[in-house]
């Protein structure tokens, strides 16, 4: 099934724009009165028929809608973007497939990448949401300095994953089900000692994610999967 995406929904009418419209009418050759399925990224699935096809958009008469099944837990990963952007991008794609509610981007002492193109990342989240037949787009937060982030975040369960501390419990033993959980994932070279100390002081719990040494993007994905796994 092909799922389209638009936020332009008013009453019983919806409009697909630009790429979504092109994909619908030119790539998939949908015609007037054909039925399509789409989502709004805000947890609702829609079914409707095409009533008008323009050059750059496509109007849909909504026939049915239903809300995505609610979850009793929330996954938030705050990750330092990788030097090679592809690695962050696949983390974003895979996390969306597996299930993530919020992604924050951290600027850390050891970060090699200090800027990010949110629009590119947003496109990847949208494509992954549609591909995995979800109706909710993960919330994506722009890059923020580590200390500023840990001072403002309000998630219920807060963890920082880092290497070298053997006394840190595995996330699976530290993370209760049915909670809003946030895990901090450091850059290549990990968090600095100062950053770890600041997070622990602010109430974050130190955890390990695996017996193996994982790359930044793999650690992010593993943390995301562990929380989903514990709640499935």
Which residues of this chain interact with its own copies, rule CB under 8 A? 90, 94, 97-99, 131-134, 170, 172, 210-215, 218, 221-222, 225-226, 228-229, 232
The least CB distance from residue 100 to its own copies, in Å, is 10
> In whole angstroms, how close is the CB of 151 to its own copies at the nearest point?
32
**Nearer to its own copies by C-beta: 42 or 170?**
170
Token pair belonging to 215: 């790359």
- Our CB check for its own copies shows the closer of 108 and 214 to be 214
Nearer to its own copies, 173 or 201 (CB): 173
DSSP the chain: --EEE-S-EETTEEEEEHHHHHIIIIIS---TT-EEEEE-BBSEEEEEEEEEE-SSEEEEEEEEEEEPPP-S-EEEEEEPPPSSHHHHHHHHHHHHHH--SEEEEEE-TT-S-----HHHHHHHHHHHHHHTT-SBPPEEEEEEEHHHHHHH---SEEEEE-SS-TTSPBHHHH--SSSEEEEEE--TT---HHHHHHHHHTTPEEEB--SS---HHHHHHHHHHHHHHHH-
Nearest-approach distance from CB 131 to its own copies, in angstroms: 7
Question: Least distance (Å) from its own copies to the CB of residue 155?
Answer: 22
Q: Whose Cβ is closer to its own copies: residue 107's or residue 137's?
A: 137
User: 133 or 151, CB closer to its own copies?
Assistant: 133
Of the pair 158, 225, the CB lying nearest its own copies is at 225
Instruction: Supply the minimum distance, in Å, between the C-beta of residue 89 and its own copies.
Output: 11
Whichever of 44 and 132 has its CB closer to its own copies, that residue is 132
Shortest distance in whole angstroms from residue 221 CB to its own copies: 8
Which residues are 207's β-sheet partners? Answer: 161
**In angstroms, rounded to a whole number, what is the distance separating the alpha carbons of residues 69 and 55?**
35
Work out whether the CA dihedral 80, 163, 211, 214 comes out positive or negative.
Answer: positive
Q: How far is the CB of 225 from its own copies (least distance, A)?
A: 6
């Amino acid at each position: 099934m092909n799922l389209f995406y638009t936020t332009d929904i008013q009453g019983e009418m919806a409009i697909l724009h630009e790429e979504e419209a092109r994909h619908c009418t030119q790539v998939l050759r949908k015609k007037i009165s054909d039925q399509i399925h789409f989502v709004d990224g805000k947890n609702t699935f829609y079914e409707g028929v095409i009533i008008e096809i323009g050059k750059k958009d496509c109007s849909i008469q909504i026939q049915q809608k239903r809300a995505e099944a609610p979850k009793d837990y929330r996954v938030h990963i705050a990750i330092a973007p990788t030097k090679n952007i592809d690695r962050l991008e696949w983390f974003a794609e895979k996390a969306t497939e597996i299930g993530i509610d919020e992604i924050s981007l951290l600027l850390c002492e050891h970060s090699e990448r200090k800027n990010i193109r949110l629009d590119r990342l947003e496109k990847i989240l949208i494509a992954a949401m549609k591909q995995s037949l979800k109706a909710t787009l993960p919330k994506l937060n722009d890059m923020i300095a580590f200390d500023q982030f840990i001072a403002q975040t309000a998630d219920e369960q807060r963890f920082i994953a880092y290497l070298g501390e053997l006394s840190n419990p595995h996330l699976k033993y530290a993370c209760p089900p049915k909670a809003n959980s946030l895990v901090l994932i450091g850059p290549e070279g990990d968090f600095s000692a100062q950053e770890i100390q600041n997070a622990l002081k602010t109430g974050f719990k130190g955890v390990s994610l695996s017996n193996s040494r994982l790359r930044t993007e793999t650690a992010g994905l593993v943390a995301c999967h562990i929380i989903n796994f514990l709640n499935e």
